[in-house]
Amino acid sequence: MTSLELLAPAKNLECGMAAIDNGADAVYIGAERYGARAAAGNSLADIEELCSYAHQFKAKVYVTVNTIVYDHELDDTRQLIADLADIGVDAILVQDMSLVGKSRVPLHASTQTDNRTLEKVKWLGERGFRRVVLARELSADEIAHIHREVPDVELEVFVHGALCVSYSGVCYASQHCFQRSANRGECAQFCRMPFSLVDANGTEIIRKRHLLSLKDMCQIDNLKRLVEAGAVSFKIEGRLKDATYVKNVVAAYSQQLNRIVEQSGGRYRRASLGRVEYRFTPNLNKTFNRGFTTYFLEGRQPDIFSPDTPKAMGEYVGKVKEMSRQSFNVSGTAAFANGDGLCFINAQRELEGFRVNRAEGNRLFPQHMPSHLRPGMALYRNSDVAFEKLLSGKSAERHIPLRMRYVETDEGFCLRCWVEELGDVQMGGTPYAEQFVRLPKEAAKSPQRNQILRQITKLGNTPFACDDADVVGDADRWFVPATVLATMRRNLVDQLLALFAQDMQQQRHNNLAESTTVAKGKNPADATGRLSWNPYYEHYPYLYNISNKKAKAFYGQQGLSLLLPAFELSNRNEGNRTDDSPRLLMQCRHCLRFSLGYCVKRGGKRPEWKEPLSLELSDRQRFRLEFDCKQCQMNVYDK
């Protein structure tokens, strides 16, 4: 039986606990430093508390230490990893190869390691990575191919949230323009900026649009396809998002994953324990999004980018019907509330937003009447006051179902339980946990059945809930003090939690043992001293992101001969421009030729412009585009 894991983001402890409550099987969270979201760091104490909370449900906590590391940070990073191991985290996501083999916790290869090919995934598996987080750009067929060829490596895939336009780990635009490294968790959102598209003659083809800004990924209707392709972990993007985002998205995907499990005939199960009861109906359209795309799941698709705005538009709520000086009507069935945030695309193809001051049915009175709003324009709600209020409190309850039996023994009494989700629910089978008490038997003046059941099922402040309880035979004819029954129940809960903790620790140990069994074989580099993941690595060896002496030594042991420093450490980047050749800043599967309808290979119009094309910022900085049709990708250069 294959375990399926819903993996949720945790900006902080609150978000992590909310993710678990709403159905996540695992969460990923940043430590105080060295995570690829520098603005989302957390203390060891908070991470330890999150581990304790998650492990009650056999859910896992992964910590991101997935930046490149400089020489002066190596000792500090290793100490951080040791500290994380001490507090019981289940795995650590890394990018920097200097950290391989330095952990007492299993390592996962972050998507920042540019995991887009079978060769790369196989190489990572042979270096000891039990799990690889695949590039967002891969199709279901590509994922299935990788799984068939490397079945022992767990595959983690993104299913929801913001999309980087460049393959992760090989985006240097932010560092080039703003001295803020994406590989150091300081991305400046270069791809969300407005660009003009200019040809080789200087002709402006498109003026100031968000040509690199992608819609958000949404694979909720394709989860089964990804499961069948061999993915086992389904990752929600959003380590900078708040708890309401986490609650809504996790709930939607958890319910969908449950349906897949229920319909699988026993092939799949959830990776953690617990049944969730929701106090709301999840709706992905009501949470931050730039519009949704399935990206490349079924190959190259049109309409994956959002050129009008990089901001959230939210759910479509209708069209402007009739306008007066201070208000307007909306055609449609949506209900509105005072304080709702609405937006629209104006005639200049720019996003405008406003706040509803008062709602009277479908007649809305804005705080300030938008000057560019016109009848017939489509309206979107990007802030739903009623929905946000619903999610601001306790949105779900998660409990692990138990079956309990109270029985008489020769020397006293025993309370036994079976954990339904662990498979052994036959009352005649071995219980998962049990508590005995030696007690002289004193006949009760009246049957004790109701008193016994009431006491043993008081599980309200625990992660458990009793689905079925019974008193076996004549065990209720004996008097047992309520305090004794309560002690048996508390001890049983403590025993269950201790057993869960032991199981989690043993699983971490097993995973680590498997990870350290590195495959032996020929030197992975070819005769020219290259590692054959991507032909561009030969021409731009900074793509290896070698930022410290340990990483350099690691790649040298792999037979790599081009041991040059990371982009962030190059002389040119520091202002000493000894090499004036163009440098690759991004590699994108998103292709403007295709998205604008000019990919001749796929039936598009033949362009009339003169290439090469360039993207131009408002400050006149230009970035040359190269369309590599053999690789079916678009490259962005600094000149």
Q: Any alpha helices (H) in 363-481, and if so which ranges? A: 385-392, 449-456
Residue 523 has pLDDT above 70, yes or no: no
Average pLDDT, stretch 107-132?
A: 95
Question: Residue 525 has what pLDDT?
Answer: 67
Average pLDDT, stretch 202-209?
A: 95
Residue 572 has pLDDT above 70, yes or no: no
In a 3-state reduction of DSSP, which class is residue 49? helix
CA gap 351, 332 in Å, rounded: 21
Question: Residue 520 has what pLDDT?
Answer: 46
CA gap 337, 317 in Å, rounded: 13
Secondary structure letter of residue 111 according to DSSP: G
Q: How confident is the model at residue 357 (pLDDT cuts 50, 70, 90)?
A: very high
Q: Which residues contact 609 (CB under 8 A, 6 or more apart)?
A: 199, 200, 201, 203, 205
Report residue 335: phi and psi, to 5°: -100, 140
Q: pLDDT tens-digit profile of 495-510?
A: 999 999 999 999 998 8
Higher pLDDT, 325 or 35: 325
Residue 102 has pLDDT above 90, yes or no: no
264 sits in the region (left: phi over 0; alpha: psi -120 to 50; else beta) called alpha
CA gap 262, 503 in Å, rounded: 25
CA gap 635, 612 in Å, rounded: 11
Q: Is the dihedral of CA 152, 153, 154, 159 positive or negative?
A: negative
CA gap 533, 544 in Å, rounded: 11
Q: pLDDT tens-digit profile of 269-295?
A: 999 999 999 999 999 999 999 999 999
Q: Which residues contact 63 (CB under 8 A, 6 or more apart)?
A: 28, 29, 30, 31, 35, 47, 84, 89, 91, 92, 93
Q: Which residues contact 250 (CB under 8 A, 6 or more apart)?
A: 6, 8, 18, 19, 22, 23, 24, 236
Q: Pick from 72, 94, 96, 70: which is nearest to 84 by CA? A: 94
| Cβ atoms 623, 634 nearer than 8 A | no
Secondary structure letter of residue 147 according to DSSP: H
Burial of 110 (0-12, 13-18, 19+ CB in 10 A): buried
| Cβ atoms 237, 157 nearer than 8 A | no
The residues facing 108 across adjacent strands are: 93, 131
Question: Residue 95 has what pLDDT?
Answer: 96
Residue 428 has pLDDT above 60, yes or no: no
Q: pLDDT tens-digit profile of 247-261?
A: 999 999 999 999 999
Q: pLDDT tens-digit profile of 580-611?
A: 789 999 999 999 999 999 999 999 999 999 99
Question: Residue 466 has what pLDDT?
Answer: 96
Tokens of 475: 């065990």
Q: Which residues contact 194 (CB under 8 A, 6 or more apart)?
A: 208, 209, 210, 617, 618
Q: How confident is the model at residue 524 (pLDDT cuts 50, 70, 90)?
A: low
Question: Residue 36 has what pLDDT?
Answer: 59
